[in-house]
Structure 1
Amino acid sequence: MAYSVEEIKESIAYCGLVCKLCNAGKSGECKGCKEKCDGCSIKECAKTRGINGCWECRSFPCEEKAFKNKRNRVFIQCAKDEGLHSLATYLKKNYEDGVQYHKIDGSPGDYDVLDSESEILKLLKKRNNPFEKCPVYETDNL
């Protein structure tokens, strides 16, 4: 399914999760963040501060459990540095190129299996993307 940059942008949760690209959202397991989810401390914090997400918060990164996830920290920092539209644009391009937010079977996605925030940022921005092309030795033998 193809998503527009605006659809992806609107689905980015306060904490940096991307509901449009998440299998739990597609399957109906997750209600989504901004409209329907109750009891989220990050959502309550953002609403109390009058901000649209943690990318607008001076206290980011804080001690919230969601920020133990490297992917969430990278996505929020990208939105903070470059804007939410840029983050959504990167995510759309990667999605179209086959970079998986989550695997269909529910296992960790391509962003989650990387070891460092810098590797996640490189994949997000498609710098040194291991999924972009086959190495020369593989294509020479086809």
Structure 2
Amino acid sequence: MPNTAVNKRVHVAVGVIVNSLGDILIARRANEAHQGGLWEFPGGKVEAGETVSQALARELHEELGINIDAASCRSLIEINHDYADKTVFLDVWLVTRFRGEALGREGQPLRWVSPQSLSDYVFPAANAAIVNAIQCADVI
């Protein structure tokens, strides 16, 4: 088990983005990135001085070109996960309203998938609890 006292802790704002059909947006991580080649829910690091909602709005605009309606977002789950090289705190939010068309602005492939088909994709270990929360709860 990793020693979290020496691992870097990264606070990540994550969006479970749901379209009008009830499908969820996932993105494939770049091969050279941490956990490269795996699928993920979009989002990114919370920077110093940012709230989670500000970070989520910034990251989703930068990565996907969409603008979220903060009033339609709600907390879904919080996850602490230790990797060998870092500890992540995933602050996961359900996003049910947004403006714009989601595009992979960083070259990342995107897919809209049904909640049931999330199990067909390989995610980083920290995301398993997100998939479980989506599939086991009436969140959408």
Q: TM-score, normalised by structure 1?
A: 0.30
Larger Rg: 1
Q: TM-score, normalised by structure 2?
A: 0.30
